[in-house]
Amino acid sequence: MAEFAQSVRAGLSKPQKELHSRYLYDELGSALFEAITHLPEYGLTRADERLLREHAGELADLVPSPGAVIELGSGMGRKTRPILAALRRRDPVRYFPIDVSSEALARCERELSDIAQVHPQQQSYLDGMAAVTEDRCRDQPVLVLFLGSTIGNFERPCAIEFLRDLRSALQPGDSLLLGADLVKERARMLAAYDDPTGVTAAFNLNLLGRVNRELDADFELRNFQHQARWNERERRIEMHIASRVNQTASISGCGVTVQFQTGETIWTESSHKFLPEEMLVLAECSGFSVQAQWVDRQWPFVESLWTAR
C-alpha cells in the first residue's frame, strides 16, 4: 500500500486519531499555506523575512565563504534572496534547495537563478543533505538554512535527533541558520492558527479533502470543524479537526471505516514554540555552538546562527 494510505490507516486507528502534518501540503494545501503567510494574524513569515533582510549582511560577514548553501524545505525561495545576495558580494554562490515538491523547486529556481547557481534536489531533507555533502569541495564550508520554524513541527526529542543527524552530515566549521518561532502571548498565538477569515481552517480541513480525493474516502467536510489549542505543558499549538456529530467515514483506499463521537478530534499538526535560551540548549546537545541570534521585535521569532563543533 502506498505510504500515504498506510500512514492514514495507522493514524486513524490510534486512540487519539491523527494525520501527519506533512500531508497538509498537496497543491491546494500549499496554496492555502501561502495564503496563511499573508494573514495579518500570522506574523511568523513576515518576522522571518524581516530578520533575514535586516541581518543578511552581518550573517555573510560571520560565516566563512560557503562552497554550498543548502536550504531544507526551500519552498519558493522568497526569504532566501537577501542571504544569497549578501553572500555573492564576496563569491559566486552555489545554492542547493531541497524540497519534496517539484513545483516549489521549479519556482525557487526561476526566482533565484539570477543571483545563484541553483541545483534543486527533490528529496527528503536528510537524503538531500547526504547527496549534496557527499561530493562537497574539500575545505569549502557549507551553510545550511532551515527557516520558517519548520523545526517546530517536530516533537522536541525528534527535533534534537533531527539536528544531530543534520550535524553528522556536516563538518566542523560548517554553519546552520535556524529560524524558530518564540513563545508569545497566548491570544496572539491562538489567533495565528485560528484566523477569523477561516484560511487556516480551510488549510486544516483540506487534509480530509485530500484523503477523500486520493484515497477515495467519504468524509463529509461540513461535519468537521477546525480547532487550534495551546498546549502549555508542551509549549505548542496543536491543530485538530473535531467531529461535529457522531458519524462514520469509509476510506476505500486503505480499506477501513472510522467512527467518530461528537467532539472527538483528529490531531493534524503541532507547532512547537521556543524560548530564546532553549536554542542554546538545542545547539549544545546536537553538536553546534551558537554564533549569533537575532530576534524580531514586532513578532517574537529568532534566527539562530550555529557553527558545527
Which spans of this chain sit near ligand AVJ (rule: CB under 6 A)?
36, 44, 148-150, 152-153, 193, 200, 269, 271
CA–CA distance, 189 with 180 (Å, rounded to integer): 14
- Using DSSP's 3-state secondary structure scheme, residue 259 falls into strand
CA–CA distance, 165 with 181 (Å, rounded to integer): 22
Nearer to ligand AVJ, 200 or 307 (CB): 200
User: Considering only CA atoms, which of 203, 182, 138, 159 is closest in space to residue 304?
Assistant: 182
Nearer to ligand AVJ, 234 or 284 (CB): 234
CA–CA distance, 95 with 110 (Å, rounded to integer): 13
CB of 298 to ligand AVJ, least distance (A): 16
Nearer to ligand AVJ, 174 or 278 (CB): 278
CB of 42 to ligand AVJ, least distance (A): 6
CA–CA distance, 128 with 151 (Å, rounded to integer): 17
- Using DSSP's 3-state secondary structure scheme, residue 121 falls into strand
CA–CA distance, 148 with 86 (Å, rounded to integer): 19
Query: Looking at residue 41, what DSSP letter applies?
Result: T
Question: Which position's Cβ is nearest ligand AVJ?
Answer: 271
Nearer to ligand AVJ, 271 or 293 (CB): 271
CB of 270 to ligand AVJ, least distance (A): 8
Nearer to ligand AVJ, 200 or 243 (CB): 200
Query: Looking at residue 254, what DSSP letter applies?
Result: G
Nearer to ligand AVJ, 35 or 130 (CB): 35
CB of 91 to ligand AVJ, least distance (A): 31
CB of 139 to ligand AVJ, least distance (A): 34
* In contact, 302 and 179? CB cutoff 8 Å: yes
CB of 21 to ligand AVJ, least distance (A): 7
- Using DSSP's 3-state secondary structure scheme, residue 209 falls into helix
